[in-house]
Structure 1
Amino acid sequence: MKDFKAFALKGNILELAIGVIIGAAFGKIVTSLVNDLLMPVLGLLLGGLDLSALQYTFNGVELKYGAFLQTVLDFVIVAFSIFMFIKGLSLLKRKEEEKEAAAPAVPEPTNEELLLTEIRDLLQHQREDQRNRP
């Protein structure tokens, strides 16, 4: 049980779970975008054509190629939406990295600077000792 708990609570597993949940919610948004906004406009532009209603009957078997075309179109729109979302996140991340890179880095002190600092501190202690003597 202890090993399972360590596995389940690893950062990667939690990030994956969060990604799946957000992805599912994002999928619903994109599906609504396709079904409720884009397809009615596309149908209007195509003269009221409903892709999902397209079918071909062959020897009593219905081949619903319209539903397939609708699913392919949904996929393309979902893939493009995710691409744009990821591209936007990458742009924000790149800007943040550039901002961090532009910040002046504090250089490490050289050996000479460390030695001079030590000498300064010793001299200050000597002066304080001389002032404190009666």
Structure 2
Amino acid sequence: MLREFRDFLMKGNVVELAIAFVMGVAFAAVVNSFVNDLVMPVIAMIIGKPDFSDLTFTINDAVFRYGSFITAVITFIAIAAAVFFFVVKPMDAIKARMSKAEEATIDDDERRHQELLAALAARN
């Protein structure tokens, strides 16, 4: 039974998942630092406040903290932008380069077939 447990833990998927989780936590710390230390001070320069948590209104003793919501939305947008520009776009560029390299490795027979098909299509 211990051998099966060890084999389960050593499966590639579990190890890869653990690595992805650790990397995700580390990346989250970097993104949070980016937002809190770089983006929010810029917002503070423009608007005058880096944090809107103290903005509230009260109705019948119920306190509505709309400032916390505004701060959360700004943080979400900043995190989404950081992930998009620093992860998604570079990965798309890497994939595009890799696909160009794969297209360049077309053998001569395949290239001739493609040229013939293109010529036939141009005639019609």
Scaled by the length of structure 1, the TM-score of the pair is 0.65
How much has 1:106 moved relative to structure 2? Answer: 9.3
Cα distance in 2 for partners of 1:2, 1:79 equals: 43
How much has 1:77 moved relative to structure 2? Answer: 1.8
1:14 and 2:15 equivalent?
A: yes
Matched AA of 1:90: D
Q: Is the 8 A contact 2:40 2:50 kept in 1?
A: no
Matched AA of 1:22: M
- Paired position in structure 2 for 1:44: 45
Q: Is the 8 A contact 1:27 1:78 kept in 2?
A: no
Provide the secondary structure at the position in 2 that maps to 1:57: strand
Which sections of structure 2, spanning at least 5 residues, go unmatched? 110-124
The 1:33/1:23 distance shift into structure 2, 3 A limit, reads same
Identity of aligned residues (%): 36
How much has 1:57 moved relative to structure 2? Answer: 2.2
How much has 1:35 moved relative to structure 2? Answer: 1.3
- Paired position in structure 2 for 1:112: none
Cα distance in 2 for partners of 1:101, 1:16 equals: 32
Which sections of structure 1, spanning at least 5 residues, go unmatched? 108-134
Aligned counterpart in structure 1 of residue 97 of structure 2, from 92, 95, 107: 95
Higher-Rg member (1/2):
1
Cα distance in 2 for partners of 1:2, 1:24 equals: 30
- Paired position in structure 2 for 1:113: none
Q: Which runs of 4+ in 1 moved over 4 A?
A: 104-107
Provide the secondary structure at the position in 2 that maps to 1:54: coil
Provide the secondary structure at the position in 1 that maps to 2:53: helix
Cα distance in 1 for partners of 2:104, 2:8 equals: 38
The 1:39/1:79 distance shift into structure 2, 3 A limit, reads same
How much has 1:104 moved relative to structure 2? Answer: 5.7
Q: Is the 8 A contact 2:41 2:50 kept in 1?
A: no
The 1:7/1:83 distance shift into structure 2, 3 A limit, reads farther
How much has 1:95 moved relative to structure 2? Answer: 0.7
